[in-house]
Amino acid sequence: MACKPRTGVGGLTPAGVEEFLEARRAAGYTLWLSTKAMAPMLGYLRSLGVAPPPAPAMASTPVEQLLERYRSYLVQERGLAVGTVVGYVQVAELFFAQRSPVGELDVERLGAGEVVDFVLTQCSRRKVGSAKYVVCGLRSLLGYLYLEGQIPSQLAAAVPKVAGWRLTGLPKVFGRQEVARLLASCDRRSASGRRDFAVLTVLVRLGLRAGEVAALEFGDIDWRAGEVVIRGKGRRQERLPLPVDVGDAIVGWLDRGRPAASAPRSSPEFALRTVA
């Protein structure tokens, strides 16, 4: 089936939208194949009054009736975007489908245990971003149920948070043996290995941030005094002792690893920052 050519926005009725989607499926497209995918665009066009409104659906069960009131609340009272409204209502549908498959509301005895159980069931198979969206939608629904007087207490606080920290699999602290193996893994017979060894030695022995190591310049090292100037956040500068092994690692890379530069060694352009 092919879509009618040059169909105006006035033809975006539910039947016209379904005809468009069927044509895309038949043509082999893999995106924009459902009414859910079309919802943000249709919502925007309908808000401008250029696309016909959807046919009103008759809510038959108590849950469907509440979902209609909830949808209106999100649009009229909260003023949320169309896509957010659709997503929050879908979360509400999942919640009621899990605890009341027959469509009965029955939330007067809703407790924190059921709330936590829903989050664990839904979020255990989702990625972090999707799980956080479910949690936000559930908090919104519970807040509305309390506002409407459907539940006697505010249960939004019972919704657990989603842990999604980055790099959580990395160890927070390396022991001496791990540090020794890390340094020993650098092939100091090559230029890149001597560079890596110098960077790691500075990080390990001075406890600097990666950005502080990258900002080091020749002028920051006072070889006679055995000190190094560290540029930290907020343009802060601190002087730290330069351990012998750190100085040896830096010199080893400078003499037998760092590419030659035309700038003099005292120039800021001839910097250590390339070691990072």
The pLDDT-based confidence of 139 (bands split at 50, 70, 90) is: very high
Q: What is the pLDDT of residues 81-116, one digit of tens each?
A: 888 898 899 999 888 888 776 667 778 888 888 888
* Segment 65-88 mean pLDDT: 90
Average of per-residue pLDDT values in the chain: 79
Whether residue 252 has pLDDT greater than 80: yes
* Segment 154-176 mean pLDDT: 74
How far is 165 from 151, CA to CA, in rounded Å? Answer: 33
How far is 162 from 1, CA to CA, in rounded Å? Answer: 45
Residue type at position 15: A
Residue 55: its pLDDT value, please?
A: 61
- Cβ contacts of residue 204 below 8 Å, gap of 6+? 179, 182, 183
* Segment 177-202 mean pLDDT: 89
Q: 3-class SS at 193?
A: helix
Q: What is the pLDDT of residues 42-60, one digit of tens each?
A: 778 877 777 777 665 555 7
Which range scores top for mean pLDDT: 16-20, 37-41, 211-215?
211-215
The pLDDT-based confidence of 144 (bands split at 50, 70, 90) is: very high
Whether residue 193 has pLDDT greater than 50: yes
Q: What is the pLDDT of residues 221-245, one digit of tens each?
A: 888 888 988 887 667 788 889 899 9
DSSP-derived secondary structure letter, 103? -
Residue 74: its pLDDT value, please?
A: 93
Residue 265: its pLDDT value, please?
A: 46
Q: 3-class SS at 217?
A: strand
Whether residue 71 has pLDDT greater than 80: yes
Burial of 263 (0-12, 13-18, 19+ CB in 10 A): exposed
Q: 3-class SS at 147?
A: helix
Whether residue 164 has pLDDT greater than 70: no
Among 4-8, 23-27, 66-70, 138-142, which is the least confidently predicted range?
A: 4-8
How many C-beta atoms surround the C-beta of residue 5 within 10 A? Answer: 5
Tell me the domains of the chain and their CATH numbers.
1-53 (no CATH), 56-162 (1.10.150), 176-275 (1.10.443.10)
How far is 120 from 88, CA to CA, in rounded Å? Answer: 18
Residue 271: its pLDDT value, please?
A: 45
